[in-house]
Amino acid sequence: MEERNIRFNTKAIHGGQKPDEAYGAVMPPIYQTSTFAQSTPGGHKGYGYSRSANPTRTALEKALASVENGNHGLAFASGLAALDAVIKLLAPGDEVISGNDIYGGSYRLFNRVFANFGIVFRFVDMQNSKEITDRITKKTKLIWVETPTNPLMNIIDIGMVSQIAKQHGMLLAVDSTFATPYLQRPLELGADIVMHSATKYLGGHSDVVAGALVVRDAGLAEKLRFIQNSTGAICGPMDSFLVLRGIKTLHVRMQRHCENGSAIASFLKAHPRVEKVYWPGFEDFPNHAIAKRQMKAFGGMVSFVPKVGNAAQSIGILEQLEIFTLAESLGGVESLAGHPASMAHASIPKAKRDKIGVVDTLIRLSVGIEDKEDLIADLERAML
Ligand SMILES: *Cc1c(COP(=O)(O)O)cnc(C)c1O
């Protein structure tokens, strides 16, 4: 059947996949090998060395391309390795316009690593098109968007930014980790590159660190594949297998993440000890209309500010939780809770954090797929 004509849930399971050629294995074997026998120099069956390509990774890369409705997938050792490859498309002197409330590790890679190589980053409020256009110069080559953002769930209008990028001949890359291809497909909205931390929802079981890029353009894919092979931060065969297995249940998990996320967000919003809840599904949430247009539903990530006096009291709530595990990361089947100011966003200076709203009392929840009644009871008890 023509790949383009099958629906998302079918793609999640079958997209780009076929039984293994050797014995018909339904799941691609974990080709745990560094190298492949050659009959004569260069005479191999499509695979010469596993940094360049590995059949298990190819299976994952095809699945990634399929679920994002792209043409080419690339799997990396981590989300940040995928981002690293995107920035390596640039040269010293080139400029990047990035959202100002992106994942802390992305910010660190931009500001503490690539800035040293002469790449210039301008951080803006991506919700405001004028802020973007004001920062464009002849040297601007790339716009980096994360949506929804981590941890404040700001929604960036991908179509709007894509128009700006196209007008000025710049690339648009979107970190779509929070949304997953089940909820949002940036390539369909005009992005050139979509990036994922596959560690999160794509893997889905908190058992692997991996990253992904998907593009449509063959020339861009070739450049990225060259960088992937030249720098070597590839996704290994075992990790590729795990992410591929995760993708097969992505749609089912996401339905429950969304259902539970909605229930928890509403519970928190009604709670007398909660000051503010960040969840794009609320009708009065800024840019809710854009979220509704570009996403299928609103996801399982919920951040909130409890009515407490200081960070220690917020941390006190986190320490009381029993079903939610206090941990970094997100997107697994189990519910996790974190304290952005001292965990994922600690690499962003406090003044900058306060300015964008990542206050010291903020709590971030990755709502899992347990029974929502138990999750609510856990939060209720911890907040007493
Ligand atoms: C986790 C995360 C990353 C980094 O991915 P790793 O797999 O940890 O390298 C990038 N962006 C977002 C939105 C993330 O949540």
Tokens at residue 270, please? 């009604």
| 51 classed as catalytic | yes
φ, ψ at 97 (rounded to 5°): -105, 125
Strands 171-175 and 211-215: unpaired
Strands 211-215 and 274-278: unpaired
Which pLDDT tens digit goes with each residue over 65-110?
A: 999 999 999 999 999 999 999 999 999 999 999 999 899 899 999 9
| Whether residue 326 is found in the same domain as residue 243 | no
Q: Is residue 130 part of a domain?
A: yes
Q: Is residue 144 part of a domain?
A: yes
Strands 193-197 and 274-278: unpaired
pLDDT of 167 above 70: yes
Which of 222, 247, 272 lies at the terminal end of a domain, its last residue? 247
Catalytic residue among 31, 103, 107, 182: 103
Q: What is the mean pLDDT of residues 124-153?
A: 96
Strands 301-306 and 120-124: unpaired
Catalytic residue among 20, 47, 51, 248: 51
Which of 192, 219, 247 lies at the terminal end of a domain, its last residue? 247
In sequence order, what E strands does 21-119 have? 72-76, 95-99
| Whether residue 150 is found in the same domain as residue 270 | no
pLDDT of 347 above 80: no
Give the Å distance between the CA of 380 and the centre of ligand 1. 29
Q: Is residue 2 part of a domain?
A: no
Q: Is residue 270 part of a domain?
A: yes
pLDDT of 1 above 60: no
**What percent of the chain is modeled with pLDDT above 90?**
91
CA triplet 253, 244, 280: central angle to 5 degrees? Answer: 35
| Whether residue 101 is found in the same domain as residue 228 | yes
| Whether residue 41 is found in the same domain as residue 180 | yes
pLDDT at 111: 95
Which of 247, 278, 294 lies at the terminal end of a domain, its last residue? 247
Q: How far apart are the C-alpha atoms of 187 and 246, rounded to whole Å?
A: 21
- Verdict on whether the full-model pTM lies above 0.95: yes
Q: How far apart are the C-alpha atoms of 296 and 148, rounded to whole Å?
A: 13
pLDDT of 292 above 80: yes
pLDDT of 348 above 80: no
| 134 classed as catalytic | no
| Whether residue 114 is found in the same domain as residue 42 | yes
Task: Provide the 3-class DSSP secondary structure of residue 74.
Answer: strand
Expressed as residue numbers, the domain containing 130 is 7-247
Mean pLDDT of the chain: 96
Which pLDDT tens digit goes with each residue over 26-59?
A: 999 999 999 999 999 989 999 999 999 999 999 9
CA triplet 261, 262, 268: central angle to 5 degrees? Answer: 90
Using an 8 Å Cβ cutoff, are 296 and 176 in contact? Answer: no
pLDDT of 299 above 90: yes
pLDDT of 177 above 80: yes
Q: How far apart are the C-alpha atoms of 237 and 75, rounded to whole Å?
A: 10
| Whether residue 242 is found in the same domain as residue 256 | no
Q: Is residue 1 part of a domain?
A: no
* Ligand 1 in reach of 80 Cβ (< 6 A): yes
Task: DSSP for 205-240, please give it.
Answer: SS----EEEEES-HHHHHHHHHHHHHH--BPPHHHH
| Whether residue 239 is found in the same domain as residue 258 | no
| Whether residue 275 is found in the same domain as residue 228 | no
* Ligand 1 in reach of 262 Cβ (< 6 A): no
What CATH number should be reported for the domain holding residue 371? 3.90.1150.10
Q: How far apart are the C-alpha atoms of 100 and 206, rounded to whole Å?
A: 27
End-to-end Cα, the chain, rounded Å: 56
| Tokens 């030249």 belong to residue | 230
> H-helix or E-strand containing 12?
helix 8-14
| Whether residue 210 is found in the same domain as residue 261 | no
Q: Is residue 40 part of a domain?
A: yes
DSSP structure class, residue 20: -
Mutation pick for ligand 1 pocket among 107, 150, 152, 197 (CB with most ligand atoms within 8 Å):
197
Using an 8 Å Cβ cutoff, are 10 and 67 in contact? Answer: no
| Whether residue 299 is found in the same domain as residue 319 | yes
Q: Is residue 375 part of a domain?
A: yes
| Whether residue 309 is found in the same domain as residue 329 | yes
What CATH number should be reported for the domain holding residue 154? 3.40.640.10
* Ligand 1 in reach of 154 Cβ (< 6 A): no
| Whether residue 161 is found in the same domain as residue 262 | no
Using an 8 Å Cβ cutoff, are 367 and 257 in contact? Answer: yes
Q: Is residue 11 part of a domain?
A: yes
Number of domains in the chain: 2
